Amino acid sequence: MPGFIKPQLATLKGKAPSGAGWLHEIKYDGYRTQFHIDGDNRKAFTRNGLNWIKRFSVIAGAFDIPGQAIIDGEVVVVHEGRTNFSELQADLARGDQDRLLFYAFDLLWLDGDLRLKPQEERKRLLRELFDKHDLRPPVMYSEHLEGDGQQLFQHASQLNYEGIISKRADAPYRSERTEAWLKVKAVQREKFPVVGFIKDPTGVAALYLGKQEGKELRYMGKVGTGWSRTVSSQIRKQLETVVSPKTKLTKPIKKPKTTWVEPQFYAEVEYRDLTSEGLLRASSFKGLSRKSERR
């Protein structure tokens, strides 16, 4: 059995494909993970090849199967009916695995290499693996639909999912970004430097965001939703380490209750579009990372 296999990645498109020959899946908001099962020897590789088996040991233990297998998928936390990256980050920071789930969407190895087999054949074998060994949560089989991808995308958008992934049914697995896998996002997602925050009694009520454009740090608006009380408290503790006496925005804005910070942390934010003033519309917080840790 091989070691870490570089994952196949999807190409971003504006519209989902329709017609025969495509499998359509929900796009999960978590950590891409590749589980290697070889008897009692278990590994859990991240997208970049780091072995996170200690963090995902409960999931790895749920693969009660004989022989060898390499399963590709996404580790998530489901919060309020949808996968939530911010909640996943918080659980991992605490070392808590109770809410972690793994949605398996591809089978790369099953006592032999499956990567040259068609996508639909690999999914069929993955489904059989789950059924034969009665695999149960925290491991889940990622269901798919065939036919009109745009219709699934519209349903996903209405349910506030991140989007969908469409995969060519007849394509092999390729360790690169290809057009055999297409992703269509219901919302835009980007990382913005945090330039300030508003306090609430235990954490933050809002984050003020900027965007670097050449030498200018321009104001992009704020985000005030998307975190739990625990995550809000963690955000405040991190930002209080980089408090600044004044704003770092090139063109200062008047926000009397704001605590300004050095732009050392980036907020990952989902948003629908921009207002006529160029500010974020319908924004929602997804995660926080230091400048040197940007994914």
Q: Does 155 share its domain with 21?
A: yes
Q: Does 288 share its domain with 238?
A: yes
Q: Does 179 share its domain with 206?
A: no
Residue 57 has pLDDT above 50, yes or no: yes
pLDDT of res. 261: 98
Residue 220 has pLDDT above 60, yes or no: yes
Tokens standing for 221? 């608006």
Rounded mean pLDDT, 59-72: 97
Tokens standing for 224? 């005030």
Q: Would 1 be classed as within a structural domain?
A: no
pLDDT of res. 19: 83
Q: What is the CATH number of the domain that holds 207?
A: 2.40.50.140
- The tens digit of pLDDT for each residue in 233-287 reads 999 999 999 999 999 999 999 998 999 999 999 999 988 767 768 899 889 999 9
Q: Does 174 share its domain with 204?
A: no
At 294, is the pLDDT very low, low, confident or very high (cuts 50, 70, 90)?
A: very low
pLDDT of res. 49: 97
Q: Does 173 share its domain with 205?
A: no
From 185, 215, 230, give the residue that closes a domain. Answer: 185
CA distance 262 to 151: 44
- Average pLDDT of the chain to the nearest whole number: 93
- The tens digit of pLDDT for each residue in 26-45 reads 999 899 999 999 999 999 99
From 151, 185, 219, give the residue that closes a domain. Answer: 185
Residues in CB range of 101: below 8 A, 6 or more apart: 59, 75, 76, 77, 78, 137, 138, 139, 140
From 185, 206, 226, give the residue that closes a domain. Answer: 185
Q: Would 2 be classed as within a structural domain?
A: no
For residue 246, give the amino acid letter: K
Contact indicator for 223, 207 with CB cutoff of 8 Å:
yes
Q: Would 180 be classed as within a structural domain?
A: yes
Taking 3-state DSSP, the helix, strand and coil percentages for the chain, each rounded to the nearest 5, stand at 20, 40, 40
Rounded mean pLDDT, 200-216: 95
3-state SS string for 187-207 = CEEEEEEEEEEEECCCCEEEE
- The tens digit of pLDDT for each residue in 155-176 reads 887 777 878 999 999 999 999 9
What range defines the domain where residue 127 resides?
Answer: 9-185
pLDDT of res. 282: 80
pLDDT of res. 120: 97
Tokens standing for 232? 């809000």
CA angle 45, 153, 161 (to 5 degrees): 55
Q: Would 265 be classed as within a structural domain?
A: yes
Residue 2 has pLDDT above 80, yes or no: yes
Q: Does 212 share its domain with 181?
A: no
For residue 42, give the amino acid letter: R
Q: Does 33 share its domain with 161?
A: yes
DSSP 203-270: SEEEEEEEEEETTEEEEEEEE--S--HHHHHHHHHHHGGGB-SS---SS----TT-EEB-S-EEEEEE
Q: Would 3 be classed as within a structural domain?
A: no
pLDDT of res. 292: 61
Q: Does 236 share its domain with 97?
A: no
Q: Does 177 share its domain with 219?
A: no
pLDDT of res. 295: 42
CA distance 202 to 232: 8
Q: Does 43 share its domain with 137?
A: yes
Q: Does 126 share its domain with 235?
A: no
Q: Would 4 be classed as within a structural domain?
A: no
- Is 27 labeled as catalytic in the residue annotation? yes
Q: What is the CATH number of the domain that holds 41?
A: 3.30.470.30
Tally of domains within the chain: 2
> Which member of 27, 123, 185, 222 is catalytic?
27
Residue labelled with tokens 């999960």: 28
Rounded mean pLDDT, 100-116: 98
Q: Does 164 share its domain with 214?
A: no
Q: Which of 145, 180, 183 is nearest to 162 (CA)?
A: 183
Helix-helix angle 85-94:229-239, to 10 degrees: 70
Contact indicator for 22, 119 with CB cutoff of 8 Å:
no
Does the predicted TM-score (pTM) go above 0.95? no
Tokens standing for 40? 């009692």
- Tell me whether the omega of the peptide bond preceding residue 118 falls within 30 degrees of 0, making it cis: no
Contact indicator for 70, 5 with CB cutoff of 8 Å:
yes
